[in-house]
Amino acid sequence: MAEIRIRNTGERISGEENVRSFLDKQEVLYEHWNAAKLPAELQEKFVLSDEEKAQILSTFDEEIRDLAGRRGYKTWDVIALSDATPNLDELLKKFESVHTHTEDEVRAITAGRGIFIIKGTDDVGYFDVELEAGDVISVPEHKAHFFTLMENRKIVAVRLFIETEGWIAHPYDDPAFQKAQ
Ligand SMILES: [Fe+2]
């Protein structure tokens, strides 16, 4: 299950109901898929062939179509990142700057872990959402955020798009953001 860390206070929020209610107030969608549906060999595999990616999409076809039907997504794919990814450090450097999009950013984690760092309401400030397999998150359009990996530097996620052009990152220059926190 996802956990929250509020950067200004160090406060952690855990437990599905608490996490969901916090994210709800921040207008961040949080849902859960049963990651155990994935064949065991794909639950710990981070270098994927096209066939394996297709197998992940077909395993979660019902969940994907349900989410897409409710929220208007038209296309989806699978992204896999690990130390085997060429230029992983460069990629992460590129990810790790606060930005916005004109459509929401949806990720359903099917293996591994990852963090979204999101700018919350003024009383909360920036918070981390630490995600694991089964967690589904949607960061709303125009909400400042960035994504990075956790210590294990491994993730597989399904991405859903309304239009792929909507996912272009627009830098969000925020002097209030302290990267070191
Ligand atoms: Fe983004």
Q: What's the rounded Cα separation, in Å, for the pair 28 and 72?
A: 16
Residue 38 falls within a domain, yes or no? yes
CATH number, domain with residue 137: 2.60.120.10
Task: Tell me what pLDDT residue 180 has.
Answer: 46
Contact 118, 101 (CB under 8 A): no
Closest C-alpha to 161, from 102, 80, 76, 81:
76
Percent of the chain scoring above 90 in pLDDT = 85
Domain count across the chain: 1
* Mean pLDDT for all residues in the chain: 94
Q: Would you say residue 167 has pLDDT above 80?
A: no
Q: What's the rounded Cα separation, in Å, for the pair 98 and 170?
A: 9
Residue 175 falls within a domain, yes or no? no
Tens digits of per-residue pLDDT, 91-116?
Answer: 888 888 899 999 999 999 999 999 99
Q: Would you say residue 154 has pLDDT above 80?
A: yes
List binding-site positions for Ni(2+). Answer: 99, 101, 105, 145
Residue 170 falls within a domain, yes or no? no
In terms of average pLDDT, the best of 52-61, 82-91, 172-181 is 52-61
- Cα angle for residues 72, 35, 45 (degrees, 5° grid): 105
Please give the residue that has the higher pLDDT: either 127 or 173.
127
Tens digits of per-residue pLDDT, 15-45?
Answer: 999 999 999 999 999 999 999 999 999 999 9
Query: Ligand 1 center to residue 133 CA distance, Å?
Result: 19
Contact 154, 115 (CB under 8 A): no
Query: Ligand 1 center to residue 173 CA distance, Å?
Result: 14
Tens digits of per-residue pLDDT, 40-54?
Answer: 999 999 999 999 999
Closest C-alpha to 159, from 84, 117, 82, 104:
104
Query: Ligand 1 center to residue 96 CA distance, Å?
Result: 9
Question: Helix or strand or coil: residue 113?
Answer: strand
Task: Tell me what pLDDT residue 178 has.
Answer: 66
pLDDT band of 166, cuts 50, 70, 90: low
Residue 177 falls within a domain, yes or no? no
Closest C-alpha to 114, from 98, 93, 85, 92:
92
Closest C-alpha to 158, from 59, 26, 39:
59
Domain of residue 52: give its range: 3-163
Query: Ligand 1 center to residue 146 CA distance, Å?
Result: 5
List binding-site positions. Answer: 99, 101, 105, 145
Tens digits of per-residue pLDDT, 119-153?
Answer: 999 999 999 999 999 999 999 999 999 999 999 99
Query: Ligand 1 center to residue 170 CA distance, Å?
Result: 9
For the beta carbon of residue 33, count every other beta carbon within 10 angstroms.
22
